[in-house]
């Protein structure tokens, strides 16, 4: 993953921030420059809160993996999401991959539910009334993380869930090819949408999804056929 900075360790897992993460606050500052430093400060705090939710999402994967005796090498936070690097996951147990992949989005669903309960209990609207409406924004952000990660295309969690389901009926290799190629189609749509709307983050995410899906496909193709069978 290149150069990265360790920011802490929790539950036996080291957490790193990739050097490219610096582009996230830079983008926020650039986008909010005309609104003044007060708004920029609030947006930066909101950015940290959002990535705290992303970090908890990755810990969901790590803790679920631990239940199966699978260790987590580390968690890396990037400007477009997080990555829990697991060590020892068997390709011959699709049920494990299903539960581990599902655990991350479920964390965001639980976080979203907690924010929803707070908003309802305090009689607040679900609609954000400004950048300082943290509970509302984080409610919708966690809901978006939950739904986006369930898209059935690799490398999203939904793609891993799809692969684990397909691996029941076909080889791990073919299951990866299906989920990976769906990921590449999604990536192309994201890039095209980003250019059409002029949204650079969409282009960045699309490129990441494309290369991640391609990398997984190529890696799987290099495995012996016997190793890719369920």
Residue 228 binned pLDDT confidence (cut-offs 50, 70, 90):
very low
Q: Is residue 166 part of a domain?
A: yes
Q: Is residue 222 part of a domain?
A: yes
Q: Is residue 139 part of a domain?
A: no
Mean pLDDT of 17-24: 88
Residue with tokens 């920029």: 40
Q: What's the pLDDT at 109?
A: 97
Residue 44 binned pLDDT confidence (cut-offs 50, 70, 90):
very high
Q: Which two tokens stand for residue 162?
A: 């799809």
* DSSP states along 29-58: HHHHGGG-HHHHHHHHHHHHHHHHHHHHHH
Residue 224 binned pLDDT confidence (cut-offs 50, 70, 90):
low
Chain segment 108-119, per-residue pLDDT in tens? 999 999 999 999
Radius of gyration in angstroms for the set of CA atoms belonging to the chain, rounded to a whole number: 19
What is the DSSP pairing of strand 71-78 with strand 13-18? parallel
Question: What average pLDDT does the chain have?
Answer: 88
Q: Which two tokens stand for residue 227?
A: 């190793």
Q: Of 126, 170, 179, nearest to 150 (Cα)?
A: 179
- Number of domains forming the structure of the chain: 1
Q: Is residue 88 part of a domain?
A: no
Does position 227 have pLDDT exceeding 60, yes or no?
no
Q: Is residue 203 part of a domain?
A: yes
| Proportion of the chain above pLDDT 70, given as a percent | 93
Domain of residue 162, residue span: 151-230
Mean pLDDT of 142-161: 91
Q: Is residue 111 part of a domain?
A: no
Q: What's the pLDDT at 75?
A: 95
Q: Of 187, 178, 185, 146, nearest to 159 (Cα)?
A: 178
Whether residue 128 contacts residue 138, with contact meaning beta carbons closer than 8 Å, is answered with no
Q: Of 94, 95, 65, nearest to 171 (Cα)?
A: 94
Round to whole Å and give the CA distance between 38 and 40. Answer: 5
Residue 229 binned pLDDT confidence (cut-offs 50, 70, 90):
very low
Does position 230 have pLDDT exceeding 70, yes or no?
no
């Amino acid at each position: 993953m290149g150069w990265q900075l360790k920011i802490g360790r929790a539950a036996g897992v080291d957490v790193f921030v990739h050097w490219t993460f610096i582009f996230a606050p830079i983008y926020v500052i650039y986008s909010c420059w005309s609104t003044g430093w007060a708004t920029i400060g609030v947006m930066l705090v909101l950015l940290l809160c959002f990535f705290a939710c992303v970090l908890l999402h990755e810990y969901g994967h790590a803790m679920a993996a631990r239940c199966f005796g699978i260790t987590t090498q580390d968690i890396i936070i990037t400007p477009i999401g997080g990555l829990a690097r697991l060590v020892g996951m068997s390709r011959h147990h699709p049920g494990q991959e299903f539960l581990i992949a599902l655990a991350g989005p479920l964390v965001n669903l639980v976080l979203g539910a907690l924010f929803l309960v707070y908003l309802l209990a305090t009689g607040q609207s679900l609609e954000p009334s400004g950048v300082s409406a943290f509970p509302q924004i984080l409610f919708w952000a966690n809901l978006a993380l939950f739904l986006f990660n369930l898209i059935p295309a690799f490398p999203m969690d939904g793609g891993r869930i799809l692969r684990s389901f397909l691996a029941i009926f076909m080889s791990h290799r073919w299951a990866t090819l299906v989920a990976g190629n769906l990921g590449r189609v999604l990536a192309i749509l994201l890039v095209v949408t980003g250019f059409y709307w002029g949204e650079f983050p969409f282009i960045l995410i699309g490129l990441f999804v494309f290369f991640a899906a391609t990398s997984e496909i190529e890696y799987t193709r290099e495995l012996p056929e016997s190793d890719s069978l369920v």
